[in-house]
Amino acid sequence: MPDNIPYFGEGNNTEEMNAYFNSLPKYVQETIKQSAGEIKDQEELKKLAENLMRYE
Protein backbone atom coordinates (compact mmCIF):
# COMPACT_ATOMS: atom_id res chain seq x y z
CA MET A 1 0.00 0.00 0.00
CA PRO A 2 1.40 3.46 -0.80
CA ASP A 3 2.76 5.42 2.16
CA ASN A 4 0.47 8.35 1.46
CA ILE A 5 -2.74 6.43 2.14
CA PRO A 6 -3.77 5.34 5.64
CA TYR A 7 -5.03 1.86 6.45
CA PHE A 8 -8.80 1.77 6.07
CA GLY A 9 -9.34 -1.68 7.52
CA GLU A 10 -9.61 -5.14 6.05
CA GLY A 11 -11.39 -4.97 2.71
CA ASN A 12 -11.95 -1.21 2.90
CA ASN A 13 -8.98 0.13 0.94
CA THR A 14 -11.09 0.67 -2.14
CA GLU A 15 -10.20 2.88 -5.08
CA GLU A 16 -13.13 5.10 -4.15
CA MET A 17 -11.88 5.62 -0.58
CA ASN A 18 -8.32 6.21 -1.76
CA ALA A 19 -9.52 8.71 -4.37
CA TYR A 20 -11.59 10.56 -1.76
CA PHE A 21 -8.65 10.63 0.66
CA ASN A 22 -6.34 11.97 -2.05
CA SER A 23 -8.87 14.70 -2.92
CA LEU A 24 -8.73 16.11 0.61
CA PRO A 25 -6.54 19.11 1.46
CA LYS A 26 -3.00 18.08 2.41
CA TYR A 27 -3.38 19.25 6.02
CA VAL A 28 -6.45 17.02 6.42
CA GLN A 29 -4.62 14.05 4.89
CA GLU A 30 -1.67 14.57 7.25
CA THR A 31 -3.89 14.89 10.31
CA ILE A 32 -5.75 11.70 9.41
CA LYS A 33 -2.51 9.80 8.79
CA GLN A 34 -1.00 10.97 12.09
CA SER A 35 -3.98 10.66 14.41
CA ALA A 36 -6.60 8.32 13.03
CA GLY A 37 -6.64 4.67 13.89
CA GLU A 38 -8.28 2.21 11.56
CA ILE A 39 -11.04 3.86 9.54
CA LYS A 40 -13.88 1.40 9.05
CA ASP A 41 -15.61 2.77 5.96
CA GLN A 42 -15.99 5.74 3.64
CA GLU A 43 -18.75 7.25 5.78
CA GLU A 44 -16.39 7.39 8.77
CA LEU A 45 -13.62 8.87 6.60
CA LYS A 46 -15.97 11.57 5.31
CA LYS A 47 -17.17 12.48 8.80
CA LEU A 48 -13.62 12.73 10.08
CA ALA A 49 -12.53 14.88 7.13
CA GLU A 50 -15.57 17.15 7.43
CA ASN A 51 -14.92 17.67 11.14
CA LEU A 52 -11.28 18.55 10.48
CA MET A 53 -12.17 21.01 7.72
CA ARG A 54 -14.85 22.64 9.87
CA TYR A 55 -12.14 23.90 12.25
CA GLU A 56 -9.65 25.04 9.61
Q: Is residue 1 part of a domain?
A: no
Residue 35 domain boundaries: 15-54
Q: Is residue 36 part of a domain?
A: yes
Q: How far apart are CA 21 and CA 9, in angstroms?
A: 14
Q: Is residue 10 part of a domain?
A: no
Q: Is residue 4 part of a domain?
A: no
Q: Is the pTM of this model over 0.85?
A: no
pLDDT of the residue at 20: 92
pLDDT of the residue at 22: 92
Task: Answer for the pair 36, 48: CB distance below 8 angstroms, yes or no.
Answer: yes
Q: Is residue 8 part of a domain?
A: no
Q: Is residue 3 part of a domain?
A: no
In angstroms, how far apart are the furthest CA atoms of the chain? 31
Report the domain count for the chain.
1
Residues 1-56 have pLDDT tens digits of: 445 566 566 666 678 888 999 999 999 999 988 886 778 888 999 999 999 998 76
Measured at the CA of 29, the angle between CA 5 and CA 6, to 5 degrees, comes to 25
Residues 34-48 have pLDDT tens digits of: 886 778 888 999 999
Q: How far apart are CA 27 and CA 11, in angstroms?
A: 26
pLDDT of the residue at 42: 86
